[in-house]
Amino acid sequence: MKPWQTVAWAGGVLGAAVTGAAVGVVAHSTRIATQRKDPDDPLAEENLGKLKPDRHSTVAADDGVPLAVQEVKPADGGHAELTVVLVHGYALDSRCWHFQRRDLPLLTDPRVRVVLYDQRSHGRSGHSSRPNSTIEQLGKDLDAVLRATARRGPVVLVGHSMGGMAIMALAEQRPKLFRDRVCAVALLSTSAGEVGASGLPKPWLSKNNPVTRGLGVLAGMQPALVERVRRAGGQLSWSIVRSLAFGGRQVSPAMVDLMNEMIGATTVEVVTDFLETLGSHDRKAALAGLRHCEVLVLSGDADRMTPFTHSEVIAGELPDAELVRVPEAGHMAMLERHELVTEYLAALVRRAAARAEAEQKASS
């Protein structure tokens, strides 16, 4: 990864315009504008990120932060046999699951209800204090969502990037839950630790890095200034998002627009709040708690944020897990290769339902 790309993502995923302006690549703006107006975009009419849930609710985290939750019932109106909870990643929100929330409720064997929520400080959820902007707290938030929306029946947890880390944190905190209720887990484009060892260079994730620390201090002291500078580089940030979030295949401009919108809605202050916890994340030992579950580990082979080697490490700790390498996909594989990813998730759900049924028979 080129140095300016590293700075753009790690020193401000969303501060791309701040960093990019200093690097001086605005000359590409005309070409970028052309890319954004593709008349043949197959997703131009998809209404990305605008699907309506069957139910909105707010769940209070244990520190009082309100978490915005959505629920989607089986499309045919039948009784759901299990609940699938989708947990999004860093600097995103629940809209990143557009295709999975659209397609998983269509399953009839088994029928599923889908629960999505915005992580603290992301999307429509409440803002967290910096001390509570940790992966440990995200695990507790997931627990709160489960207690409020999935009180009974088998559960499948699907986590992308930081969402996968939240699932690992919950497994560390409540291993019994993964023996009794969580029958399957999907870990997409995520890591069990050493995020900075490959992909994001470690110095940029360190709280001691002067650029990262300086950006955080500036965002805390002059948030309006940072956001104004960031917005000034709109075309540039779109290009950086396209480059870092997706692989080498042709990507729908509408998909990049959605990604850019989600990132743009997350302030630089929030991004820097979570950098320390991402850099110190180490939950390889917590993976042992997933050995009672069906596990899918999936990542794109062109992921620049958490390269496929991170998925191989996770699968190495879980020898019975299914490891999937998605060709030519970047960090946002569930958008970029949504048909394939949803197909693997549907197969996981079917295995989970079969496991839950077998365990119920064995206990009766």
pLDDT tens for each residue of 213-237: 555 554 555 555 445 545 544 455 7
pTM: 0.85
- Whether the pLDDT of residue 290 is over 90: the answer is yes
What is the spatial distance between Cα 164 and Cα 161, in angstroms, rounded to a whole number?
5
What is the spatial distance between Cα 63 and Cα 137, in angstroms, rounded to a whole number?
9
Residue 218: count of CB within 10 angstroms of its CB? 18
Q: Which amino acid is at 217?
A: V
Mean pLDDT of 245-249: 82
What is the spatial distance between Cα 166 and Cα 178, in angstroms, rounded to a whole number?
14
Residue 323: count of CB within 10 angstroms of its CB? 16
Nearest to 330 by CA among 233, 201, 199, 237: 199
Nearest to 256 by CA among 270, 267, 246, 266: 246
- So what's the pLDDT on residue 206? 42
End-to-end CA distance of the chain: 55
Q: Which amino acid is at 161?
A: S
- So what's the pLDDT on residue 138? 98
Two tokens, residue 45: 């009419």
Q: Name the average pLDDT for the chain.
A: 83
What is the spatial distance between Cα 47 and Cα 308, in angstroms, rounded to a whole number?
30
pLDDT tens by residue, 323-357 = 999 999 999 999 999 999 999 999 999 999 998 88
Domains, the chain: 3-16+43-356 (3.40.50.1820)
Order of all β-strands in the sheet with 66-72: 55-60, 66-72, 112-117, 82-87, 155-160, 182-188, 294-300, 322-326
pLDDT tens by residue, 158-173 = 999 999 999 999 999 9
Most confidently modeled range among 43-47, 100-104, 280-284 = 100-104
Mean pLDDT of 100-128: 97
List, in sequence order, every residue forming a beta bridge with 158; answer none if it has no partner. Answer: 86, 186
- Whether the pLDDT of residue 69 is over 80: the answer is yes
- So what's the pLDDT on residue 58? 98
Look at strands 66-72 and 55-60 and give their pairing: antiparallel
Q: Please, is 56 exposed, middle or buried when counting C-beta atoms within 10 Å of its C-beta (0-12, 13-18, 19+)?
A: exposed
- Whether the pLDDT of residue 305 is over 90: the answer is no
Helix 223-232 and helix 210-221: axis angle, to 10°? 110
Give the angle subtended at the CA of 147 by the CAs of 143 and 148, to the nearest 5°: 120
Q: Which amino acid is at 187?
A: L
- Whether the pLDDT of residue 264 is over 50: the answer is yes
CB 189, CB 314: distance < 8 Å: no
What is the spatial distance between Cα 84 and Cα 70, in angstroms, rounded to a whole number?
12
- Whether the pLDDT of residue 96 is over 90: the answer is yes
